[in-house]
Structure 1
Amino acid sequence: MKKKLSIVAVIAVAIIAFFAFDLQQWLTLDGLKAGQVQFQIWLTNYPVLVSAAYFVIYVIVTALSLPGATIMTLAGGALFGLVWGLLLVSFASSLGATLAFLVARYLLHDTVQVRFGERLRAINEGVKKEGGFYLFTLRLVPAFPFFLINLLMGLTPIKAWTFYWVSQVGMLAGTAVYVNAGTQLGQLDSLSGILSPSLLISFTLLGVFPLVAKKVLALVRSRRAAA
């Protein structure tokens, strides 16, 4: 219990400090544009240090579920270009998401399962069997909040390694879109235009396809077995 309280205290202090020192101003589109020139100078002079600092900050932002992951992703494209930016963002976002997942699991999983185990039995069984497919779908559909998926999946039986690699693969397409948009930062006036309706539909269909395909294959196999 003391360890859990200590973790909660550290997270609370970090979140309070984030807002108390008004750090969120840097995680806005205007803040990113205002600081781009200075960041680019730092990157030119200290490429390894700036890349490492960016990676660590991204992990912390996502692990603590702080607002600003989208801006951090755009910053990856604006600072590092498409290829290197995509590589940094992909691994940083997946690692940060996994840390948030593990914290939620450590702090809340047992309590939730003890209190609502019977009600969650069907969900637990479904996640055990097809958790990777469900997670892949959730990662590809932008309508589901990134941070909320991390926390809620931590309350399920899905394995941490499965959560990590499925998140890595599932978020790659969306990450590429935002990193690429970041390379054209000067032309962006808002975040709303990055994902068009057709692109949203494409991601949704891509996410649902593996789950539907598995169901169809299972149905075909069951009918063949019964024939």
Structure 2
Amino acid sequence: MSETSEPQPNQAKKSGLARHLPLIAVVAVAVIGAMTLKDYLTFATLRDNREALVAFRDQNYLTMLAMFMGIYVVIVAFSLPGAAVASVTGGFLFGLGMGTFANVIAATIGATGIFLAARWGLGEFLNAKIENAGGRVQSLKNALRQNEIEVLLLLRLVPAVPFFVANLLPALVGVKLRNFLWTTAIGIIPGGIVFTWIGVGLGEVFDRGEDPDLSLLWEPHIIGPILGLCVLAAMPIVVKAIRPPRGKKTADTADTSDKTE
């Protein structure tokens, strides 16, 4: 007669450690990359190698596209320096249309990678803690669940929110993967177009001996429409906060009718 063996403490510890390995790897690579790559993933590096990159692109377009997207995925997934440079490079090498497509798809894939790493590690632990916490913490999470789509879109649209924060925070509070995926892909399009657009004219900027001006994002004619999208994304949250729940409204109406009889 066979007996069911229960997991040993050492096995439980190993499985717990294995769950955290992806996030540990992300943090380790991010720290190493911040110290070693910050002087290489720059516009100066792009300017010095522009002719070689353009020549390789002209001879191996699909290969260059695949290589570019792969590098961009790694930059985002490990929160390495150079994401803005990569976005501008997409416009420089592939134009506005294909450049925006490559930037958005690669950034979405990279963001999903770090989202999953965080959710498999700290996300499950913190989510369980929040579920058991009750009180204000639980109320906050319930509010997030009711407005999950709107909050995710706001995280992507608001330029002041760092990209890695918008990748990690949803994982730590138990956001659904499918909602994270499509809101990321849609939400980063406006900013992606701006950075890609800057890259389209990068050759002329380099010819003048200058670096691209990324402050263009904060120009009124650029930031205005983006902030307008933020307001649209926030409107459902405001309406839900102002409008009382249906049950409460029905109860209030019933009380009023009773008093009038």
TM-score bracket for this pair, using the shorter chain length = 0.7 to 0.9
Aligned to 2:154: 137
Q: Distance in 1 between matches of 2:197 and 2:163?
A: 19
Aligned to 1:196: 218
Per the TM alignment, residue 128 of structure 1 is displaced from its structure 2 partner at its CA by: 1.4
Per the TM alignment, residue 136 of structure 1 is displaced from its structure 2 partner at its CA by: 0.5
Task: Read off the aligned partner of 1:202 and give its amino acid letter.
Answer: P
Q: Which deviates more from structure 2 when the two are superposed, residues 125-134 or residues 202-211?
A: 202-211
Task: Read off the aligned partner of 1:179 and give its amino acid letter.
Answer: T
Q: Distance in 2 between matches of 1:213 and 1:19?
A: 38
When normalised by structure 1's length, the TM-score is 0.87
Distance 1:153 1:55, change over 3 A: same
Aligned to 2:7: none
When normalised by structure 2's length, the TM-score is 0.76
Aligned to 1:67: 81
Aligned to 2:48: 34
Aligned to 1:43: 57
* Contact residue 62 and residue 69 of structure 1 kept, 8 A: yes
Q: How many residues align?
A: 226
Structure 1 regions of 5+ residues with no counterpart? none
Larger Rg: 1 or 2? 2
Secondary structure at 1:195 match in 2? helix
Aligned to 1:184: 201
Aligned to 1:18: 33
Distance 1:219 1:84, change over 3 A: same
| Identical positions, percent | 26
Correspondence list, 1:69-148, <5 A: 69-117=83-131, 118=133, 120-148=137-165
Per the TM alignment, residue 162 of structure 1 is displaced from its structure 2 partner at its CA by: 0.4
Q: Distance in 2 between matches of 1:104 and 1:13?
A: 13
Distance 1:35 1:122, change over 3 A: farther
Deviations 1:44-73 (A, max 9, x none): 121111111111111111011111111100
Deviations 1:106-125 (A, max 9, x none): 11112223445525312221
Distance 1:224 1:8, change over 3 A: closer
Q: Distance in 2 between matches of 1:16 and 1:156?
A: 24
Per the TM alignment, residue 89 of structure 1 is displaced from its structure 2 partner at its CA by: 0.6
Structure 2 regions of 5+ residues with no counterpart? 1-15, 254-261
* Contact residue 78 and residue 183 of structure 1 kept, 8 A: yes
Deviations 1:70-112 (A, max 9, x none): 1100000001111111111111101111111111111111222
* Contact residue 26 and residue 32 of structure 1 kept, 8 A: no
Per the TM alignment, residue 27 of structure 1 is displaced from its structure 2 partner at its CA by: 1.7
- Please state if 1:164 is matched with 2:181: yes
